[in-house]
């Protein structure tokens, strides 16, 4: 992996992000709703006050003018002001983003830890009982939406068994290890809901990828040299089969964020997804714009990370 390649990819990301921000801003500007709608219907607010507020935030300016003002301010570190929360948007996002990243990151780790061994074992034993059970569970797993699985988890583990809390609490009255244990307990269900949903789809993909690689000539050659089956699978098959899996994981990140938004609503997780929903309901345009742009930046970044992982998995891939 050359430094020039990484720099070139980053330079390509810049116009991509600018295009994404322009589309997002234009769509939000054309969407119905007004952040000062409550002020317009409040008889206690004089019309000149409403006009002054709209002029201050540039809501009556043309879309292209407002976009340029937003872009210049964002590059200077000013992401806008939340009309509902009465605080800077960047501070509001920084309060919520770590929770979402922890939930999504943990769910992706669980998905990979489940999908890799199950998919590889199913591919090395095609049409066996294990393969049929794994395929059936995988079909069921990615056929069920996250909101249904989340409600099912709440019904079983919170209401019936009373093992886990179903409402995420940001403020926990505990110290030491008890504090961390309470946070872990209330994170188990949202992480498992997302992790099992992603893992179910990855199982099928890993199985298919391993089946394609295991039939290639170099695998047969490795076996003919007397290399053990386990070493052939781990060193020659799995490593090359992971290349399309990395692509799938990177491209599925928008779906993961979409599932995280629904899951955060179900379990009341104070993450960026619940912030986006509340901002959309309140027509808080600066927050909606900033959150969607942050998600787009994360998706672009993880695609760059996937390109870097390609070179580690397959030395034949050259970056110039």
Residue 288: which CATH number? 1.10.3720.10
Residue 112 makes CB contacts below 8 A (sequence gap 6+) with 199, 202, 249
pLDDT band at 9, cuts 50/70/90? confident
Are both 254 and 285 inside the same structural domain? Answer: yes
Split into its structural domains, the chain has a count of 2
The pLDDT tens digits of the residues spanning 113-126 come to 888 889 888 888 88
| 36 alpha-carbon distance from chain centroid | 31
Please state the pTM of the whole predicted model. Answer: 0.74
Residue range of the domain that includes 306: 96-313
Strand, coil or helix: what is 86?
coil
Are both 173 and 53 inside the same structural domain? Answer: no
**For residue 162, is it within any domain?**
yes
Query: Please, what sign has the CA dihedral across residues 107, 109, 114, 118?
Result: positive
The pLDDT tens digits of the residues spanning 218-263 come to 777 777 777 777 777 877 777 777 777 777 777 677 677 777 788 8
């Amino acid at each position: 992996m050359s430094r020039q390649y990484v720099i070139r990819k980053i330079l390509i990301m810049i116009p991509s992000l600018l295009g994404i921000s322009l589309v997002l801003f234009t769509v939000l500007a054309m969407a119905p709703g007004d952040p000062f709608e409550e002020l317009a219907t409040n008889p206690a607010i004089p019309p000149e006050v409403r006009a002054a507020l709209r002029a201050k935030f540039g809501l009556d300016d043309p879309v292209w003018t407002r976009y340029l003002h937003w872009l210049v301010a964002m590059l200077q570190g000013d992401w806008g002001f939340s009309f509902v929360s009465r605080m800077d948007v960047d501070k509001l996002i920084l309060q919520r983003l770590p929770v979402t990243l922890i939930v999504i990151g943990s769910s992706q780790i669980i998905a990979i830890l489940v999908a890799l061994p199950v998919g590889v074992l199913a591919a090395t034993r095609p049409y066996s009982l294990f393969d049929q059970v794994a395929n059936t569970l995988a079909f069921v797993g990615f056929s069920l939406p996250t909101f249904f699985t989340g409600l099912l988890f709440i019904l079983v583990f919170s209401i019936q068994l009373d093992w886990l809390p179903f409402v995420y609490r940001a403020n926990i009255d505990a110290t030491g290890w008890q504090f961390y244990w309470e946070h872990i307990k209330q994170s188990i269900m949202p992480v498992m809901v997302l992790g099992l949903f992603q893992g179910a789809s990855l199982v099928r993909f890993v199985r298919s990828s391993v089946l394609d690689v295991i039939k290639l000539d170099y695998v047969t050659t490795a076996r003919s040299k007397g290399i053990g089956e386990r070493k052939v699978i781990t060193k020659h098959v799995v490593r090359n089969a992971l290349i399309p899996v990395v692509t799938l994981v990177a491209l599925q990140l928008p779906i993961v964020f979409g599932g995280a938004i629904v899951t955060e609503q179900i379990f009341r997780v104070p993450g960026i997804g619940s912030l986006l929903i509340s901002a959309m309901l309140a027509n808080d345009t600066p927050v909606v714009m900033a959150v969607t742009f942050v998600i787009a930046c994360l998706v672009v970044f993880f695609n760059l990370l996937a390109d870097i992982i390609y070179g580690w998995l397959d030395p034949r891939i050259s970056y110039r």
